[in-house]
Amino acid sequence: MAQLAKRKSGVSDFVTRMVGNTIKRLKKVGYSGESHVGFYLHDPLAVAVALDRSLVTLEALRVDVETKGELTSGMTVADRRVHRSATDKNLINVCIDVDSRRFMDLFMSALEKY
């Protein structure tokens, strides 16, 4: 973000303020991810994958919505067990890995243009 903040454009100022404020609020409520405080960039990643699918590793999985669980109602469940049928028609491509460094380089490069 420091690199983006140096750009001093309307977009860079907005993004650095927004990210900074979001991280402050996350810290205030005690949120922390596995190793850092932050948030995911689902929408920008989806756009980046539409432009360059090699950013992610996909796996065809059966995914269902849990409708009966007391703690999991409404959650999606991906069946990664090896016994699932190869002829299953209900498979969807699920992202199981992201080249996050390459994605962030692409994302920051796009933001820095403005």
Q: Where are the domains of the chain?
A: 1-38, 40-114
Region for residue 55 given its phi and psi (left: phi exceeds 0; alpha: psi -120 to 50; beta: otherwise): alpha
pLDDT: is 2 or 67 the higher one? 67
Distances in Å between the Cα of 80 and the Cα atoms of 37, 57, 86 are 29, 15, 12
pLDDT, one tens digit per residue, over 26-39 is 777 766 655 665 66
Least confident of 35-44, 48-57, 87-96: 35-44
DSSP 87: T
Instruction: Indicate the pLDDT class of residue 109, thresholds 50, 70 and 90.
Output: confident
| Active-site entry in 42, 81, 89, 101 | 42
- Long-range contacts, 102-109 (Cβ 8 Å, 24+): 102/55, 103/41, 103/45, 103/48, 103/55, 106/48, 106/52, 106/55, 107/41, 107/44, 107/48, 108/3, 108/4
pLDDT score, position 24? 80
Q: Would you call 42 a catalytic residue per the annotation?
A: yes
pLDDT at 86: 61
Mean residue pLDDT across the chain: 82
pTM: 0.67
